[in-house]
Structure 1
Amino acid sequence: MLQLSWFQFTLLNSILITLLNFNLFAFAYKNLESFWLVLGFIFGYFALIHMILSLIFVKYFSKFFSIFFIFCASLSAYFMYFYGILIDTDMVQNVAQVDMKEIKDLLNARLLVVIFLIFLFCILVFKIRIVTQKSILKQMGIKFLNVFLSLVLFLMIFLPLTKTYIPFFRNHKEIRMFNVPFYQIYALLRYYERFLKPKPEFKILSYDAFKEDNTTKKLLILVVGETARAQNYSLGTYKNNDTNAYTKKDKVVFFSHFYSCGTSTAISLPCMFSVNKRKDFSSKEFAENALDFLQKTGVNVSWYDNNSGGCKGVCDRIADKKFFDANYDEILLKELESKLQNLGTQNIIVLHLQGSHGPTYYKRYPENFKHFTPTCDTNKLELCSHEALINTYDNTLLYTDYILSQIIALLRDKKDYESAMIYLSDHGESLGENGIYLHSMPYAIAPKNQIHIPFIFWSNHSSLNEKLSQKKDLEFSQDNLFSTLLGYFGVWSSFYENELDLFSSKENP
């Protein structure tokens, strides 16, 4: 019987899985166009895989994981290489619905050889005797030494090159689909979630919601930005560039300490409309949100979206919704102008911007908004100086500021309505501080730049402006939005919390 130590067995599997990812490395080489960057990527990937396997290869399960991973990785790599397919959830669904005729069409000598080699590997793994230390403490020491050294190797490779690798991964999100067998396992789990797992019952929460005043004409424009961080707002303390040259003239109220619910749109967008606070929110929620409450109590709700990620389920039950794929957010102004000609008595219109979405910041504003130079006119951030990167990002904020000023101008013309505009971003952004770029870091360790967001308010009613001005230096978060939206329209519900409503007379959140 073949005998290997636990370390040798784990190392062998790490090498095999790394080798089976030749499609992944070929994709990286094609797009990175640098042998040394790809070589670093390969070694970094190996270190990451070895760290993962060191953690999950435990007694009685090591052989199972070995066979399962190599089986999935081998078949996935085969079909990706010879047929050019990527195995995602839809492909898993196709496989689940395949019939015998289609299976026979796929069979050939080449595939049979691959299956035979996998079968031989399985037999080999079964015959291997994995030798572990008799002392549990020694075995745990070996395991965690492997984890630690692998992590150190990964960080030594990755951290000095974050300016290249992070934008590369963001620009080429499809690269994750080449990661065998892990993406395919993820696709299998997603298939289960979408098609096999029993659907949760949609939770109706607005049973007791009511609104007494249905006659006062109200209009609220809620602008949800993308990837804007408060640090770069000249309405605050930012001095490098005047990123709010337009709204400064409108005497808006800028909240200096406002924080997001998450560090990505997928979390923050549904969270800010949820009845739950950040600490209780789950991305698996399937329940009514603030817009449902407003809609059910007689408020006309509209959602206009120019963000490639869509509304993340928030607008699913709204009838008046439109999605755009325009280069610039001004497309939403045209839609808003049209909508303002056909309003109900009480209205909320949500505009979801593409804002400052990176790393292609230079694509987020027209040429005439290229005010701050030099700029970083590429998605390869490593080619740009920090100054150029900041200038480019600031140009995106200036363009968004122009959009907001145009919205305010439109609202000024609606003199027969109590009108207001709220702008807030979904999350912030890192621009190279401490070697970190973009966003989506775990909230617990995310830098302040990724969670400290702008919040701007304007109204044609001076009393509302004054009331919010008194609170602008207090600390708030997206947890306040649910009750604030209900409060603006005078909607009461057991989920409404007066102390979180920015329009209430409470001085503290």
Structure 2
Amino acid sequence: MKISWFQFVFLNTFLIVLMNFNGFIFIYKNLSSNQLWLTIAIILAYACLVHIILCVIFVRFLSKFFSIIFLITAGMSAYFMQSYGILIDSDMLRNVFNTDTKEAFDLINMSLILLILGLLFVSFFILKITILYPSFKKQLGIKFLNIFLAFGIFCAVFLPLTKSFVPFFRTYSEMRMYNVPFYQFYALFRYYQIYLAPKAELKILSDKAYRENNTTKRNLVLVIGETARAANYSLGGYKNQTNLATPHEDIIYFDKVSSCGTSTAVSLPCMFSASKKNNFSNKAYEENLLDFVDKVGIKTTWLDNNSGGCQGVCQRLKQTHIFKEEYDGFLIEELKKTLANLDTANFIIVHLQGSHGPAYYKRYPKEFEKFTPTCDTNELSKCTLEQITNTYDNTILYTDYIVEEMIDELKMIKDYQNTLIYISDHGESLGENGIYLHGMPYAIAPKTQTQIPFILWTDDENLRQIAFKHKNMELSHDNLFSTILGYFEVKTPFYEEAFDLLNLKFGEKK
């Protein structure tokens, strides 16, 4: 089949505009008035800009290459945005690149398979067609004429409506993330800048750290939940009894806790960082909480069953164990093994796969299927909100059981001060307002993705009374760093009493 260069460019413009339906739907829903006509105007203006870009970069020998890359990227991006209501930025790309085969298979369904086959067919078709290029001078003239006409139409459509468009795009700055495939290329560049570009030498922060008390025997188990949102914890007033196992009389539930990010890739490094959320950067290459406690002689162990591992947080620890088991329950036995070989002071981190979606039904054994009907597929759009919520609640119930069993293990350790903290890395959207999973930009993320459960149990009555005083205060991942340093009595300039919820001076402003 033969096709002219102009026809090839026009066809690609049409397909890319078509694949931006998520963005146009977003515009239509959020425009305050004249939604239909203003949306049509934006579609026409956007098509002109896309046509200009393609006219510039579709040159002899590279047109087919750019076409295939653009269409595959746009198609895959549009699919995940439409299916799960996510936006694809540099942090979401980090989640993608950190996904292991187990997690990747959870995303595979018939719709995705058909899409991939369709994109492969389109790519094969593009490779087989013959693009007819005119002479260099004639093509140059056609290029400039196309660019000139497209720019003229854009100005004629956009400029008279700037009073409507400019305030809209300023209010909804996230609109740029719907621009497939172009924003995804920018996100890939940002991903390289933040995560792959060569880093400076590790910045040492712990050189002045020391333990004031080396004699008191202490155990602290930090259980990091995955994708657990506070909205579905009955300890916080949720209608379904998702916290049946947790011994209510012994634990303290903090009900106003926010995460550092909306994805594991951001939240996990942030919660262990000496920096607070407002000034944390994944670009920083510096020591974290684990370096502090490990260097002062606290035996530190990391047990991990989450896809993506510890996100680099535990890379300098000697006692690191990464697992890929189907259910988290086996970690109870792993904790028992660790508790059987204690030092004077012990810090044990247990990282769960918890409630990771979209295949929530794979996160718990059948005996924990208390809430029904369930959503037994990874295609969440095929399930009702009730089915998705029930399945998710079962994952919370299972995690609650694991936490309770771990507390019971600590209760059997004598002659030690024992404490367990459970905190999630981020929350989750279950389909509310068409949004699923997590990873939305923090500024626009729903509270279900940023409000997280936080549980503390300790056999030290003094610490329990102090923590109880703070249970209704606003907390965040920012409190973890100083709370754990304070628990082990680690002295360092980076420790702040005002952020240590086990300190009587917690919350006091200097």
Q: TM class by shorter-chain length?
A: 0.7 to 0.9
1:245 aligns with 244
Quick one: which amino acid aligns to residue 402 of structure 1?
A: Y
Change (3 A) 1:491 1:115: farther
Aligned partner of residue 419 in structure 1, secondary structure:
strand
CA contact (8 A) 1:67 1:122 kept: no
2:323 aligns with 324
The farther-off stretch of 250-259 and 403-412 is 250-259
The farther-off stretch of 257-266 and 130-139 is 130-139
Aligned partner of residue 130 in structure 1, secondary structure:
helix
CA contact (8 A) 1:76 1:180 kept: no
**Residue 134 of structure 1, CA deviation:** 12
**Residue 494 of structure 1, CA deviation:** 1.2
CA contact (8 A) 2:252 2:468 kept: yes
Change (3 A) 1:181 1:236: closer
The farther-off stretch of 215-224 and 181-190 is 181-190
After superposition, residues 235-274 of structure 1 pair within 5 angstroms as 235-238=235-238, 240-249=239-248, 251-274=250-273
Quick one: which amino acid aligns to residue 204 of structure 1?
A: I
After superposition, residues 157-196 of structure 1 pair within 5 angstroms as none
Change (3 A) 1:472 1:188: closer
**Residue 279 of structure 1, CA deviation:** 1.2
CA distance in 2, matches of 1:81, 1:263: 28
Tell me whether 1:130 sits opposite 2:162 in the alignment. no
Query: How many pairs are equivalent?
Result: 431
CA distance in 1, matches of 2:62, 2:443: 33
Quick one: which amino acid aligns to residue 334 of structure 1?
A: E
**Residue 476 of structure 1, CA deviation:** 0.8
Normalized against structure 2, the TM-score is what?
A: 0.72
Change (3 A) 1:189 1:272: closer
Tell me whether 1:74 sits opposite 2:64 in the alignment. yes
Residues 240-291 of structure 1, C-alpha deviation per residue, up to 9 Å, x if partnerless?
A: 3211111135621000111111111111111111111111112222111111
Quick one: which amino acid aligns to residue 363 of structure 2?
A: R
After superposition, residues 483-498 of structure 1 pair within 5 angstroms as 483-498=482-497
CA distance in 2, matches of 1:496, 1:332: 31
Query: What's the % identity of the aligned pairs?
Result: 44
Tell me whether 1:409 sits opposite 2:408 in the alignment. yes
Residues 11-44 of structure 1, C-alpha deviation per residue, up to 9 Å, x if partnerless?
A: 99685255479xxxxxxxxxxxxxxxxxx86744
Aligned partner of residue 271 in structure 1, secondary structure:
helix
Unaligned ranges ≥5, structure 2:
1-5, 28-40, 77-92, 95-125
After superposition, residues 353-502 of structure 1 pair within 5 angstroms as 353-502=352-501
CA contact (8 A) 1:206 1:293 kept: yes
Change (3 A) 1:142 1:392: same
Aligned partner of residue 279 in structure 2, secondary structure:
coil
Quick one: which amino acid aligns to residue 412 of structure 1?
A: K
Change (3 A) 1:442 1:479: same
CA distance in 2, matches of 1:192, 1:406: 43
1:225 aligns with 225
1:31 aligns with none
Change (3 A) 1:191 1:225: closer
Aligned partner of residue 203 in structure 2, secondary structure:
coil
1:102 aligns with none
**Residue 77 of structure 1, CA deviation:** 5.2
2:12 aligns with 16
CA distance in 1, matches of 2:325, 2:505: 41
**Residue 334 of structure 1, CA deviation:** 2.2
Quick one: which amino acid aligns to residue 394 of structure 2?
A: N
Aligned partner of residue 335 in structure 1, secondary structure:
helix
Change (3 A) 1:337 1:345: same
CA distance in 1, matches of 2:48, 2:475: 45
Aligned partner of residue 414 in structure 1, secondary structure:
coil
CA contact (8 A) 2:221 2:347 kept: yes
1:212 aligns with 212
Change (3 A) 1:192 1:75: farther
Aligned partner of residue 499 in structure 1, secondary structure:
helix
CA contact (8 A) 2:360 2:395 kept: yes
CA contact (8 A) 1:250 1:405 kept: no
Residues 358-412 of structure 1, C-alpha deviation per residue, up to 9 Å, x if partnerless?
A: 1211111000000111111112223322222221111100000000011001101
CA distance in 2, matches of 1:342, 1:141: 74
CA contact (8 A) 1:20 1:73 kept: no
**Residue 115 of structure 1, CA deviation:** 8.8
Quick one: which amino acid aligns to residue 200 of structure 1?
A: A
